[in-house]
């Protein structure tokens, strides 16, 4: 789940946005350690931060582009290209996956969020097609249709933070919905409660960090992060094979 790198404009780097991307990468890596060391199953809890932070990065990048800009095809192309490159390594690490890797969800999310940020005729038509794909492809998309809508919800929350913040929280909870897990949470099971709490809190933490005053001293996240996605799958799969 590489952070959506800004390829939209020559605007100065936003250190807070780079911080969001680093946290997303770290939480993703921690989450996937479970596939090498199953006893680290509890890393699933901080791992719930990764997807909403990647979606927030998409929304923040779109908010930084000039008004009237068309859909950033280079941005979309990187997501789709690495989606193809990552599917094999993803399936090496994740046993019997039921869904695709995360990048198709983020690609649909980019299209939907762009149409909300730049509501023009062509963008709306493309977004309608993306929404149909998200709904029809819901069973095969990681985080489903709700996940594809999450970047657009973050666009709303960044535009109107006082009124629209419930949208990304609700969609994040819905995207992570699992009947057994949420049922356990309703019965007070500690791990399940921690997962649900992490899902609900992640969008608020991300927005707060992005809008926090002050200077961040953070190294920039470059386009290498796209390659990190398939490579980290391969490394973890090889490590698991070595330890077996």
DSSP secondary structure string, 150-175? HHHHHHHHHHSHHHHTHHHHHHHHHH
DSSP structural state of residue 140: G
Whether residue 32 is predicted with pLDDT greater than 60 in this model: the reply is yes
Average pLDDT value over all residues in the chain:
92
pLDDT band at residue 123, thresholds of 50, 70 and 90? confident
Mean pLDDT for the stretch of residues 162-178: 96
Pair 53, 24: CB distance under 8 Å: yes
Pair 93, 238: CB distance under 8 Å: no
Backbone angles phi, psi at 120, to 5 degrees: -115, 170
Mean pLDDT for the stretch of residues 200-212: 94
Pair 154, 203: CB distance under 8 Å: yes
Residue-level pLDDT at 113:
97
Provide, rounded to the nearest whole percent, the portion of the chain with pLDDT above 90.
Answer: 81
Provide, rounded to the nearest whole percent, the portion of the chain with pLDDT above 70.
Answer: 93
- Helix axis angle for 166-175 and 144-159, nearest 10°, is 170
Q: What is the pLDDT of residues 36-87, one digit of tens each?
A: 999 999 999 999 999 999 999 999 999 988 777 889 999 999 999 999 999 9
d(CA 204, CA 116): 20
Mean pLDDT for the stretch of residues 4-26: 77
Exposed/middle/buried for residue 75 (C-beta within 10 Å: 0-12, 13-18, 19+): buried
Mean pLDDT for the stretch of residues 198-213: 92
Residue-level pLDDT at 11:
60
Residue-level pLDDT at 14:
85
Residue-level pLDDT at 200:
97
pLDDT band at residue 8, thresholds of 50, 70 and 90? very low
Sign (positive or negative) of CA dihedral 109, 90, 203, 222: negative
In 3D, which of 110, 3, 18, 106 has the Cα closest to residue 63?
A: 110
Residue with tokens 């946290």: 23
Whether residue 9 is predicted with pLDDT greater than 90 in this model: the reply is no
Mean pLDDT for the stretch of residues 173-181: 96
Residue-level pLDDT at 143:
98
Residue-level pLDDT at 164:
94
């Amino acid at each position: 789940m590489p952070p959506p790198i800004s390829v939209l404009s020559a605007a100065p780097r936003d250190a807070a946005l780079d911080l969001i991307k680093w946290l997303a990468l770290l939480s993703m890596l921690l989450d996937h350690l479970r596939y090498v060391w199953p006893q680290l199953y509890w890393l699933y809890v901080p791992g719930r931060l990764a997807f909403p932070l990647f979606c927030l990065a998409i929304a923040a990048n779109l908010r930084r582009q000039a008004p009237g800009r068309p859909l950033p095809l280079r941005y979309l192309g990187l997501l789709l290209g690495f989606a193809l490159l990552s599917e094999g390594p993803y399936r090496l690490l994740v046993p019997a996956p039921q869904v695709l890797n995360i990048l198709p969800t983020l690609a649909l999310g980019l299209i939907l969020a762009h149409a909300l940020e730049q509501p023009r005729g062509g963008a709306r038509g493309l977004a309608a097609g993306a929404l149909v794909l998200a709904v029809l492809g819901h069973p095969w998309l990681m985080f489903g249709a709700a996940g594809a809508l999450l970047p657009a919800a973050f666009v709303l929350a960044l535009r109107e933070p006082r009124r629209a913040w419930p949208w990304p929280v609700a969609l994040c909870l819905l995207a992570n919905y699992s009947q057994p897990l949420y049922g356990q949470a309703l019965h007070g099971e500690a791990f399940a409660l921690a997962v649900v709490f992490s899902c609900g809190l992640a969008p608020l933490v991300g927005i707060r960090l992005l809008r926090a005053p002050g200077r961040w001293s953070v190294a920039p996240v470059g386009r290498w992060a796209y390659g990190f996605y398939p490579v980290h799958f391969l490394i973890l799969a090889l490590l698991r094979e070595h330890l077996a």
